[in-house]
Structure 1
């Protein structure tokens, strides 16, 4: 399983690097997933690569089979606190929206500040 996870993470890293150099037009994990799908398809019949191929597929199947477990805690928390959501749902929505806007504004401000400090803007 360790070999399979390593292969998956290496392809995600390759995808992230590729996405960086492409300007982030396509997310890195999507590029990595497409690349590993192509590589696994092309190397499926090679006896030398069969162990790595099999371990990667087995690891992927195990992760996908257990993916629902990651959503159980959030779902249980929501169900347990439906009364709070009903009573304070509007306030929660307002807080989430406001904090999202504030986070976006601060992120843009910091980006502009770092860009100016690093000489990214010539005439500002």
Structure 2
């Protein structure tokens, strides 16, 4: 029963995101809005992580399975994208490089700030 309740929490956020997206005619998918709402709820302690942790871990551990349908969909419509495949691959490579660079820089900044805080605490003693 606990897993069902946890799944219902996630579904409620998804439904809320879809409702907001449709009600305001936003160009952002409802699932993305739902994820943002879930993040904000966890960040501001409206929802405790323990209330969704088991289902969340299950979904993250089985994430590759969720991409199978998208991959099959692309393969069944390959004739429609065949002439644009080079553009798609180029976009994927460039966006991956940009993402890695941004994540790396962000990690370095956070690490420096944490080390500076540790050093300040150490010097304060």
Q: TM-score, normalised by structure 1?
A: 0.50
Greater C-alpha radius of gyration: 1
User: Whose helix fraction is larger, Structure 1's or Structure 2's?
Assistant: 2
Q: TM-score, normalised by structure 2?
A: 0.49
